[in-house]
Amino acid sequence: MKSMTGFASESGSGDGFDWRWDVRSVNGRGLDLKLRLPSGLEALDAPLRAVAQKYLTRGSVSAQLSLTFQRVEAAQTIDAAALSRALDGLQFIRTECEARGMPVDAVSAESLISLVNSGADGPDERPDAAALKKPLEAAFDLTIKGLLRVREAEGAQLNSVISGQMAQIESLIRDAESCAVEAVTALRDRTMRQVRELMGADNALNAERLEQEVAILATKADIREEIDRLKAHVVAARALLDSGEPIGRRLDFLTQEFNRETNTICSKSATEALTRIGLDLKTVVEQLREQAANVE
């Protein structure tokens, strides 16, 4: 079992760039992958989606690539011709300023280098999609695998929680089953008593017909069919938990079936004990539904 929530990241460098992948996943009805790529790398969209689809079947997944150009601050080679032009320019400026009585401060070597390089073409800071394709795809693959491990770890915890909820449901089904016959008998006796009290001494109704009507009413209050279906749903749910496959959609459907049968039991309840059991069942089934919504 896997959860649909998780986070993973990978970072690295190549072709003059530092990069970082951040991938987040939350619940989703299907697999919804949102890729945020820097300008110039749009061609990677399709192959990256193929990578994600190898490992994930459900979840709303957001993947963002951050790309930073590596600026080299080391010593730079000086262009002699550019240096000569810069010095001539500085000399002209100094001469003109002094002729007008405007002293000029000395120029530092760092300022001179900056001036020389200001007119030179710097390195290209645009990413080369072809050069970065393989390393970025490989890093994305590692990031998705990391996300998968997180989702598997959370899935193991979900499995434990859901298994405990299934045990609670089984226990409550047994309790409801033990109350089923008593509930039908209580309903029959109560209905007969109420009819006799309403009629008083004027017993104009045919006793046999009255018994038939009460029997029909009692049959409608019988919850044994609902209990049998709940037992079948428990067996199906446990088989899903043991299957090792993505089970989120099927488990969600089963929680709806659990809820339907539980609601019917509550509506048929003829005793306080059965009503209490039905309400406890509804509580656990709702908790199960909330957990199932996180399962891939």
pLDDT score of 74: 43
> Which is more confident, 150 or 102?
150
Q: What is the tens place of the pLDDT at every residue in 33-81? A: 999 999 889 899 999 999 999 999 999 999 999 988 776 544 456 667 7
For domain 6-71+128-152, give the CATH number.
3.30.230.10
CA dihedral 123, 129, 135, 139 (to 10 degrees): 110
Token pair listed for 81: 């011709």
Sequence-ordered list of residues with C-beta below 8 angstroms from that of 199, at least 6 positions apart, any chain: 205
Does 211 score more than 80 pLDDT? Answer: no
H or E element, residue 26: strand 17-26
Average the pLDDT over 8-28 and give the result: 91
Token pair listed for 57: 């079947």
Computed over every residue of the chain, the mean pLDDT equals 84
Q: Which amino acid is at 67?
A: L
pLDDT score of 75: 46
Where are the alpha helices (H) located in 80-128, listed in sequence order?
80-99, 109-118
Cα(97)–Cα(174) distance, integer angstroms:
102
Stated pTM of the model: 0.69
Does 189 score more than 80 pLDDT? Answer: no
Does 148 score more than 60 pLDDT? Answer: yes
Residues 199 and 205 sit within 8 Å (Cβ to Cβ): yes
pLDDT score of 90: 80
> Which is more confident, 238 or 102?
238
Where residue 202 falls among pLDDT bands split at 50, 70, 90? Answer: low
Where residue 273 falls among pLDDT bands split at 50, 70, 90? Answer: confident
Does 17 score more than 80 pLDDT? Answer: yes
Does 139 score more than 60 pLDDT? Answer: yes
pLDDT score of 198: 60
Residues 52 and 41 sit within 8 Å (Cβ to Cβ): no
Q: What is the tens place of the pLDDT at every residue in 73-82? A: 444 566 677 7
Token pair listed for 140: 């994305």
Q: What is the tens place of the pLDDT at every residue in 107-135? A: 776 666 666 666 555 455 677 878 888 99
Q: How many CA atoms lie within 13 A of 266 on its CB side?
A: 14
Domain segments of the chain: what residues? Answer: 6-71+128-152, 80-118, 155-292
Cα(141)–Cα(128) distance, integer angstroms:
20
Does 235 score more than 60 pLDDT? Answer: yes
Q: How many CA atoms lie within 13 A of 143 on its CB side?
A: 28
- What percentage of residues in the chain have a pLDDT greater than 90? 50
Q: State how far the alpha carbon of 64 is from the alpha carbons of 56, 125, 157, in Å.
A: 17, 19, 28
Residues 86 and 32 sit within 8 Å (Cβ to Cβ): no
57-61, 183-187, 222-226, 278-282: least confident range: 183-187
H or E element, residue 272: helix 272-292
| Dihedral (CA of 142, 148, 153, 156) sign | negative
Q: Are strands 17-26 and 59-69 parallel, antiparallel or unpaired?
A: antiparallel
